[in-house]
Amino acid sequence: MRILGLDYGSKTVGTAVSDELMLTAQGIGIIRRKSPDKLRRTLAEIEGLVEQYGVQTIVLGYPKNMNNTEGDRCAKTKEFRDMLVRRTGCEVVLWDERLTTVAAERAMTEAGIRREDRREYVDEIAAVLILQGYLDYLRNQQER
């Protein structure tokens, strides 16, 4: 079994997948769309990833505000979650994604990636961080 991690944004979805042992997350790309409301192709691409990797669970970044409140992006994310459940049949877990974009930017800076090139990778790296956080959580729960 594998888990798919998603960083859902208004025009992109960063994607990551776990290894079969569910220990590590690897980035697998970014799905881009021209309009925030055009989701049919995005959902089809995610469905393809679910089939390709044998995914049973999707971890979807949940963009809560820093003060733990839920804004407009949370409502859109919940709508997208419902679409994913209907389209893929997978369990979709909402996972707090606060500061993942900041952490992704920091990781790219430390890796020496030029500022102009960071936009190309930030969503994929954020998806990796979201998924890795969830995988670490699962492992910690098993150890208890």
Q: What confidence tens digit (pLDDT) does each residue in 56-85 have?
A: 999 999 988 778 888 888 999 999 999 999
Output the average pLDDT for the chain.
Answer: 88
pLDDT, tens only, 105-131 = 777 677 777 777 667 777 888 899 999
Q: What pLDDT is recorded for position 124? A: 86
Contact call for residues 12 and 30 (beta carbons, < 8 A): yes
The residue among 50 and 121 whose pLDDT is bigger is 50
- pLDDT value at position 125? 85
Domain count along the chain: 1
Average pLDDT over every residue of 35-46: 89
Residues 4-24 have a mean pLDDT of: 94
Three-state secondary structure readout of the chain: CEEEEEEECCCEEEEEEECCCCCCEEEEEEEECCCCCCCHHHHHHHHHHHHHHCEEEEEEEECCCCCCCCCHHHHHHHHHHHHHHHHHCCEEEEEECCCHHHHHHHHHHHCCCCHHHHHHHHHHHHHHHHHHHHHHHHHHHHHC
pLDDT surpasses 90 at 10: no
**65: containing domain:** 2-143
10: CATH: 3.30.420.140
Beta strands 25-32 and 12-18: pairing type? Answer: antiparallel
pLDDT band at residue 99 under the 50/70/90 scheme: low
